[in-house]
Amino acid sequence: MGIYEELEWRGLVKDISSPELKDKLNNGGMTFYIGTDPTGDSLHIGHFSSFLISKRLKDAGHYPILLVGGGTGLIGDPKPTAERPMITYEQVNHNFECLKAQAEKIFGFEVVNNYDWYKDMNFIDYLRDYGKYFNINYMLNKDVVRRRLDEGITYCEFSYMIMQAMDFYVLHQNKGVNLQVAGQDQWGNITAGIELTRKKSGEELYGFTMPLLTKSDGTKFGKSEGKAIWLDREKTSPYEMYQFFLNSEDSKIIDYLKFLTFLSKEEIEELEESNRNEPHLRKAHKALAREVITFLHGKEAYEEALEISEMLFSGHIENLTYEQVKACFNGVESIDTDEDLQILNALVKAGAASSNREARQFVKGGSVLVNGVKITDEKFLVSKKNAYGHKATVIRRGKKKYFVINHK
């Protein structure tokens, strides 16, 4: 099947600007762009789906450009409910450099910054050269604007649509871009760019959107306990990413495989059958984790994440490194100390026991492990000398409750 048919099979096409685009995509040779604003210093798993579409199109003979909006990021894309907080020039510039380096390293895309064509534009030229082509009624009918009218929307946010339309036009003029790809929430901005170019130069541009990647309750996929799953391994370790995918919903796992991997139709259908008939094996979940982590961080990182998971499952954590401990136990209850602690005191201070008496019962009952070793001596010292990297001690109480002592 052609690239368009593959994208449709994967569920990656939501809106399309023209029936002609199907053949154009299958024939190759288009220059397209995807865009993101530098609101953070790392891409996250939500970006990954759209960036993979770009990789799929590149492999099908199209040329990708990534626009990181150093200009639009200073304004902020209107949210459906409230205005985004503004971020400083310094933060936007820092985030731009981080995202540029990350995108070039992972995907190899050309990266452009729309601040380059906004920084020298004066307000009169902006109104005469672009604002005159936008009818207020047309803008008010755009979904995201319409939803904000009751609460109110600032002129700053209202202008965002014009800026994104300008991006499409400028990239067409300077880079030969004739296609924009984005999430479904950007459809109004895509069509605004198509209309602007048609009015200014009489040329036809194209666009299509992909559905947003969501969980079964309709909320965005890509967060674990309120935290985003980042592509930067310093912010989300391969182990954390492995656990996130392993615990993804059974009902959505096949969608995630279609969106986030390059596995073939036959391979995914085989995993779908396994997910239906033997869900306890979690073959589909493990395949998703393997494919994404290997693509982002390499085979070695995936194998280490798998090894750490197996150690934790078995309870044999004594051979973990300090770096692995940091990745495994990021977010668990922890305390800092600059002294050695007797085990009963350590359990109470860490919140693993409510009193010395209860702590003593846990120790005597054999339910306390320190760095993977069962402790039954209530005089045992939790010390920096025996800590992972002389920096962290892991206490387990019972089968699954973990606590970390950070040694200063």
List of residues 6+ apart from 216 with CB closer than 8 A? 249, 251, 252
* pLDDT tens digits for range 225-253: 567 889 998 888 899 899 999 999 999 99
Tokens of 15: 């809106």
In a 13 Å sphere around the CA of 372, the CA atoms on its Cβ side amount to: 16
The pTM of this model reads 0.84
pLDDT at 223 over 70: no
Question: Hey, where are the domains in the chain?
Answer: 3-210, 223-314, 334-407
Rounded mean pLDDT, 201-217:
92
Quick check: 292 and 241 in contact, CB under 8 A? yes
d(CA 173, CA 180): 14
Long-range Cβ pairs for the range 273-281 (8 Å, 24+) = 275/250, 279/250
Rounded mean pLDDT, 199-225:
86
Tokens of 333: 């209850």
Query: 223-314, what's its fold?
Result: Tyrosyl-Transfer RNA Synthetase (1.10.240)
- pLDDT grade, residue 163 (50/70/90)? very high
Cα torsion angle, 136, 138, 141, 147, sign: negative
Q: Residue 293, Cβ neighbours under 10 Å: how many? A: 24
Query: 334-407, what's its fold?
Result: 3.10.290
Tell me which of 3.30.930.10, 3.40.50.2300, 3.40.50.620, 3.30.499.10 is the CATH number of domain 3-210: 3.40.50.620
- pLDDT grade, residue 200 (50/70/90)? very high
What are the C-alpha distances in Å from 318 to residues 11, 321, 389, 394? 44, 9, 12, 10
* β-pairing verdict for 381-382 and 179-183: unpaired
d(CA 193, CA 167): 8
Quick check: 347 and 395 in contact, CB under 8 A? yes
Q: What is the pLDDT of residue 394?
A: 94
What are the C-alpha distances in Å from 220 to residues 211, 227, 234, 259, 261? 11, 12, 22, 14, 18
